[in-house]
Amino acid sequence: MQLGMIGLGRMGANIVRRVVRAGHTCVGYEPAAAKIDRLRAELGDSFAGSTDLAEFVGLLETPRVVWVMIPAGATGAVIDDVAALLEPGDIVIDGGNSRYHEDLKRAAVLGRRGIHYVDIGTSGGVFGLERGFCLMIGGETDPVRHLDPLLKSIAPGVEAAERTPGRTGEPSTAEQGYLHCGPVGSGHFVKMVHNGIEYGAMAAYAEGLNILHKANLGNQGPGEFSAEETPLDHPEFYRYDLDIPEITEVWRRGSVVASWLLDLTAAELYADPNLDSFDGRVSDSGEGRWTLDAAINIAVPAPVLAAALFGRFSSRGEAVYADKMLSAMRSAFGGHHELP
């Protein structure tokens, strides 16, 4: 089978590599000719590419399968451009982190021209080449079924995790790492919530490890505490100089909180125990906000996810004005002055 990939960045190129490894062929579109040349040298006759969108479409076998793997902000315009070159029966896949609202609009527009639209939430990041990509798929049944050989080659496979107790018989596609979640938009909806959960899990690890990091506060002398701050009760309870990298390492083995995310955290701490190479500014690309928007609309409490998102805002200095306002109010009503 053949896959056309628009965008040969870290994830797009690795999806191409997995597809070719499974015996399929690929055609790539990328404005940077060097990326095309590198993949052609690596993959040989199984890969062709072009910096011209029309030529790219012309290299594809019908029915064409075009996977768009670029930043969400540019996805809509690129889909419009490539769709103008496609024919009825062709399939367009958005594998990025687009908002599912956009999927419904795009599917309606393309559907009027007989072009199928499939949204695929794709998780795996830079490790997807070897581990495989977890795929959450939304779209009509027939085009999704047509894509199955490609999806199976991109996904991690059943061996990626131990089988859930009680499951028997032929493994489902979910057990292989890809799932047709439902109609158009459902794939990106599931991926959106997946990323919202990711925000919360990351925040929980970060907050817990920070408590461990500060567990030696009782070792400070009396003169190191300010009269403007609540004194530490029982400093003798907080005299632990803990080795955070080693704690994350031991948690990886047999702990209930063990996870791939913890594996990655332990690796970062081993390489940089004091995190000196990081400033602590945490971006959000939209999925956390959209998850909370959905939670509000359907009245589902999500306080952990909300706190995690607001924590990211604070990390970028968005709370500085509010913090200054608090300081101003304390100064006004109590004469409390800021510490130097």
Residues designated as active site? 191, 198
Q: Are strands 47-50 and 25-29 parallel, antiparallel or unpaired?
A: parallel
| Cα 232 from Cα 205, distance rounded (Å) | 24
- Helical pair 303-315 and 186-213, crossing angle rounded to 10 deg: 70
Under DSSP, the state recorded for 236 is: G
Contacts of 296 (CB under 8 A, 6+ apart): none
Exposed/middle/buried for residue 7 (C-beta within 10 Å: 0-12, 13-18, 19+): buried
The phi, psi pair for 307, rounded to 5°, reads -60, -40
- Torsion on CA atoms 72, 200, 10, 29, rounded to nearest 10: -20
CB-side exposure of 54: number of CA atoms within 13 Å?
0
